[in-house]
Amino acid sequence: MKKMEEYIRTIPDFPEEGIMFRDVTSVLQDKDGFKLAIDSLQGLVEDVDFDVVVGPESRGFIFGTPIAYNLGKPFVPVRKKGKLPMETISMEYELEYGTAVIEMHKDAIIPGQKVVIVDDLIATGGTIEAIIKLVEKLGGEVVKVIFLIELEGLKGREKLKGYDVASVVAYPGK
């Protein structure tokens, strides 16, 4: 059986020189790779008591919804500003060049709910830090944050200090 790392395609010098891009589309395009990704991520929460799965668009949807479905939990999408139809709360966060805004429905999290956040990759941690703030603003408790891939060189975990963070595969660089 192949290891997860064998399904993740690495593209050197993309989007710019010196960057080793970790591509998850190669995981999604392989039925065994996709199954291994979901099973591995799900394994990171097998002993966690939680009520709801939260994931950012778009790859948090791809990896979070099968886990929610398999475990009989609801899934809450976090979207870019202006994409959700009901009343929302929003959070602005820093990007490498500028800022972005994400939103979730105001009624998505019930106060006291325990939340697991799922995404494909942690780089600088800014998106997930913003999601945590949204969840907590609605009265939820983030009990675990999981990623398929972690880029350790970008130190995203530092923004998530105090939270239980886990990744399936960790790469030392950027």
What does the pLDDT look like over 46-68, one tens digit per residue?
999 999 999 999 999 999 999 99
User: Is residue 22 among the annotated active site residues?
Assistant: no
Give the chain's radius of gyration (CA, Å): 16
Catalytically annotated residue among 17, 46, 87, 96? 96
The pLDDT tens digits for 16-54 are 888 889 999 999 999 999 999 999 999 999 999 999 999
The owner of tokens 């009624």 is: 107
Spatial distance between the Cα atoms of 144 and 167, rounded to a whole number of angstroms? 11
Cβ atoms of 60 and 80 closer than 8 Å = no
Q: Residue 129 catalytic?
A: no
- Please tell me which residue in 6, 16, 59, 136 is annotated as part of the active site: 59
> Could you tell me how many residues make up the chain?
174
> What pTM does this model have?
0.96
Q: For residues 72 and 59, what is the distance between their CA atoms, to the nearest angstrom?
A: 20
User: Which structure tokens are listed for 140?
Assistant: 């939820």
